Amino acid sequence: MTETCTFCGIVAGEIPAEIVYSDENVVAFLDISQATRGHTLVVPREHCRDLTDIGPDRAGLLMRGAVHTAALLRRALEPGGMNIWHATGPTAWQTVFHFHLHLLPRYTPEDLRQAWTHRELPLSSLSPLADHIRTAAVS
């Protein structure tokens, strides 16, 4: 835990939150800024900064909690769909530096704006980028 981490404070019970699910690995609570009705954050109990810090085992446990929480939201709120969202780093809009997933129940397609514009590229144009990524993975 870091001294100033809001989510660590929620996990520790030091900061009030509306918790909708918890187990030995994760805590899920309603986001104080509801983007849609039932907008829920799922966080690991152990502090980790972001996707590069969580590690595959902890990420798997967190996803298990997210799937369980999504089922609770679906039963209780009956949304037409649901988005899952994550941001790593300030450039990607991460504002709380404790790994978390947003579960966003969707009731209409207009609930939220689309996060990006789709533009299909020729597959051949992606080869240099894929080669660059594969080369970095070997290094």
- Give catalytic residues, as residue numbers: 100
Nearest of 137, 50, 31, 136 to residue 92 by alpha carbon:
50
Token pair, residue 60, equals 């798997």
Eight-state DSSP code of residue 12: T
Q: Where are the alpha helices (DSSP H) in the chain?
A: 6-11, 51-54, 56-77, 127-138
Please check whether residue 26 is in contact with residue 103, taking contact to mean a CB–CB distance below 8 angstroms: no
Token pair, residue 109, equals 């397609």
